[in-house]
Amino acid sequence: MCGFAGFFGSSLRTAAAAGAMLDELAKRGPDAQHAVFWDEKFRPTEVRRYHGLLSTRLAIIDPRPEADQPMANDRGDVWISYNGEVYDWQADAAVLRNLGAKFRTRSDTEFILRAYEQWGIECLSRLRGMFALAIFDLRSRVVYVARDRMGLKPVVYGHRGGDFFFGSTVRSVLPMLAPTDRGFSVEGIDAYLAHRYIPAPRTVFENLQRLENAHYLRYELDGGKLDKVCYWQPEARSGDWLDVLDQAIEMRTVADRPVGVYLSGGIDSSAIACGLAKHGHHDLSSFTAAFSDPRFDESADAARTARALDIPNVQVPIPASVREHFSRIVADLDEPFADPSSIPSWFLARETTKHVKVVLGGDGGDEVFAGYKRYGKHLRWRRGFNLPWLPQPESVAGRGLAKLSAELRVPWLDAYALRFSGFAPGQRRYLAGGKSPPQAVYWRMGDAGQRAPLAALLEIDRLNYLPEYVLRKADLCTMAHGLELRAPLLDHRWYEIVMGLPAAERFTRPPKLLLRGALQAVQSLHLFERKKKGFNPPLALWLREDLSERFAGLGARLARLSDGLIAAERADALVARYLGGVESLGEGVLQLLFLDESLAQLDKLRQEAYA
């Protein structure tokens, strides 16, 4: 698990720019930092001006320096820098040894390097796990950058004037842009207002992109051409789902550093904890967020699950106040990102990393089994017609009417993207002083329009909500503290087997009844009868106490930082309506506060000369 970055092309860089990339990645990899550079003729050099691969390492498997990155093959003509964890590769490694490969380490990094030497970029089909990797092949003068199938690991990149640069975060790649190329993206900011985050392939910067999950980039050093390829589309397969789930859990316990598990009162994390106990991992501690408000707290339920499994449980109190940490949390979220649950996630990771360096989590269960209420609600919603002529009022009122009007105006699949959104198009038009937003929604639809209704919604979430919202938050909040999060429920082999199950087994009411087979050890706790609470923080308390001092001058700051996309008086009017009692505007107000702080931080960074 690491941070990674690189730059290639004809433009000269400064040593300060390369150093800034490493500095931005340091928290993702606190155990080691290394960089390798080549001159204009691709000869090794100490000068940080031409081509480079960079890495900051969180050492999980084989923590010896021999396994540090960037790592080269024996001839020094193929290099890798890599962020992630690949599992269950020993059988393929044995094949490679029989073909003559000699391994110097026990690391999955070296396995990927050897696999690429033998099978080329098709080796991606053999990787089971999470990864964001860069391979520099001096033999063919090509650079590959790839992101894992489900999108657990991030890749941000730029391609300007034939130059190619990339990294784990927006802030790590920004130093590679010329100061004149660091403009904020109007579409990126509007996408944030629409969705509370910026969906791939956009970022908040006009000249930086985010690589979509299950894609790789191929950059030709001769000529500077960049191509993007989708290398995986899930296919339904047959198999024993419980056996494969057990395998997915067990293989994610392999580490040379302490391992734990996130445990809430819900089904997904409980199923993972049961799998750990089933295989005798009673020494692994579980970690639970504890809220002082009983409306949000699941810690007592999680403690009961832990006792039933004879697993230690660490209760992590989530502070009621966020004032002291708000700026740091926004910085760790990299670019505008306004999921309220990111704040307790950040606090939970901060405490967990004091005990372990690897933690298993339950991310993905709702997307696999259609567990969100919005699926059923949208399936009952009208299909086959829309009313584009319906007025789209500019409104600072609550979400209900604005969202209903917006959903009726757009096609059914676009309306689904608005179900889990920030500001409806009419509200964004209001904030923009009457200017219509560039797009109603910014989610990718893929081939969802050709699928059955529920399958279409699940595919849209696989392309958007899961990788760019759920998993991005999980990655950023854990890696901010040097903590590796593993997600067994997003093992791609298990995912495809679940896809192959009969609909009556996979989609139940209540959801996830299939997982009863994985929850036998805690069946007496009646998990399926518990009310789902989610990971909800005390939003009203934060807005009316902790963060209220940020309201002064908010509109003017947003107008300046957004280059006029947001009208100052309109933003202030929205805040005034909230403070006047329109509670449904609370998440929107928090969204504006996140945007204000994030753009202010990024504005300072884009002024850096990196001389």
Per-residue pLDDT, 535: 67
Q: Are strands 215-220 and 226-230 parallel, antiparallel or unpaired?
A: antiparallel
Structure tokens at 141: 């003068």
Selection from 142, 278, 163 nearest residue 217 by Cα: 142
pLDDT of residue 609: 87
* CB-CB neighbours of 122 under 10 Å: 11
218 has which bridge partners?
Answer: 144, 227
pLDDT of residue 396: 63
Helices marked H in 289-358: 299-309, 326-332, 342-352
More confident residue, 162 or 237: 237
H-helix or E-strand containing 578? helix 568-579
Kindly list the distances between the CA atom of residue 404 and the CA atoms of 133, 307, 397, in Å, as whole numbers in the listed order. Answer: 42, 45, 12
- Predicted pLDDT of residue 385: 66
**Above 60 in pLDDT, residue 467?**
yes
Stated length of the chain:
611
Tokens of 511: 């959801």
State the Cα–Cα distance between residues 511 and 362, nearest whole angstrom.
15
* Per-residue pLDDT tens over the stretch 334-367: 999 999 999 999 999 999 999 999 999 999 999 9
**Where does the pLDDT of residue 399 fall: very low under 50, low under 70, confident under 90, or very high at 90 and above?**
low
DSSP 128-154: EEEEEEEEEETTTTEEEEEE-SS--S-
Q: What is the pLDDT of residue 514?
A: 96
Rounded to whole angstroms, the Cα distance separating 489 from 111 reads 24
* Residue 398 reports pLDDT greater than 60: no
Q: Which helix (H) or strand (E) holds 226?
A: strand 226-230
Q: What is the predicted pLDDT for the residue at 611?
A: 65
Residue 418 in this model has a pLDDT that exceeds 70: yes
Q: Does the pLDDT of residue 119 top 60, yes or no?
A: yes
Q: What is the mean pLDDT of residues 494-514?
A: 96
For the chain, percent of residues with pLDDT exceeding 90: 83
pLDDT at 13: 80
Name the 3-class secondary structure at 423.
coil
Residue 259 is inside which H or E element, if any? strand 259-262
Structure confidence at residue 400 (pLDDT): 63
CATH number at 2-230: 3.60.20.10
Contact criterion met (CB below 8 Å) for 422 and 194:
yes
Nearest to 362 by CA among 481, 473, 478, 262: 262
Chain mean pLDDT for the chain: 93
Q: The CATH number of 241-317+337-370+466-529 is which of 3.40.50.620, 3.40.50.300, 3.40.50.150, 3.30.70.2170?
A: 3.40.50.620
Type of residue numbered 570: R
One-letter amino acid at 102 equals K
Lookup: tokens for 453? 């209704």
The pLDDT value given to residue 539? 86
pLDDT over threshold 60, residue 125: yes
Q: What angle do CA 325, 576, 539 make, to 5 degrees?
A: 35
- Quick one: which of 37, 505, 22 has its CA closest to 240? 505
Q: Is pLDDT at 1 greater than 60 in this prediction? A: yes
pLDDT tens digits along 7-28: 999 887 888 999 999 999 999 9
Q: What are the start-end ranges of the H helices in 231-364?
A: 241-251, 267-278, 299-309, 326-332, 342-352
Q: How are beta strands 78-87 and 128-137 bridged, if at all? A: antiparallel
* pTM strictly above 0.85: yes
Mean per-residue pLDDT for 376-401?
71
pLDDT tens digits, one per residue of 442-453: 999 999 999 999
Give dist(CA 85, CA 488) in Å, integer.
12
Which helix (H) or strand (E) segment is 441 a member of? none
User: CA 410 → CA 165, 195, 198, 385, 424, distances in Å?
Assistant: 37, 16, 20, 9, 12
**Mean pLDDT of the region 179-190:** 95
The kind and range of the H/E element at 216 are strand 215-220
Average pLDDT of the residues in 432-443: 90
Confidence at residue 294, expressed as pLDDT on a 0 to 100 scale: 84
- pLDDT, one tens digit per residue, over 135-183 is 999 999 999 999 999 999 999 999 998 899 999 999 999 999 999 999 9
Beta strands, E only, 9-50: 32-38, 44-45
Domain 2-230 identical in fold to domain 241-317+337-370+466-529:
no
Task: List the domain boundaries for the chain.
Answer: 2-230, 241-317+337-370+466-529, 373-463, 539-606
Looking at the DSSP bridge assignments, the partners of residue 8 are 164
Determine the pLDDT at residue 497.
98
The DSSP bridge pattern shows strands 259-262 and 286-290 to be parallel
Dihedral pair phi/psi, residue 282, rounded to 5°: -80, -10
Per-residue pLDDT reduced to its tens digit, 271-298: 999 999 999 999 999 999 999 888 888 9
Mean pLDDT of 210-225: 97
Helix (H) or strand (E) run with residue 4 in it: strand 2-8
pLDDT of residue 525: 85
Q: Identify the CA nearest to 491 among candidates 275, 228, 308.
A: 275
**Nearest-angstrom CA–CA distance, 571 and 433:** 10
> Is the C-alpha dihedral spanning 289, 295, 301, 303 positive or negative?
positive
3-state secondary structure of 587: helix
SS3 (DSSP) at 228 = strand
Q: What is the pLDDT of residues 77-111, one digit of tens each?
A: 999 999 999 999 999 999 999 999 999 999 999 99
Strand-pair partners of 166: 6, 157
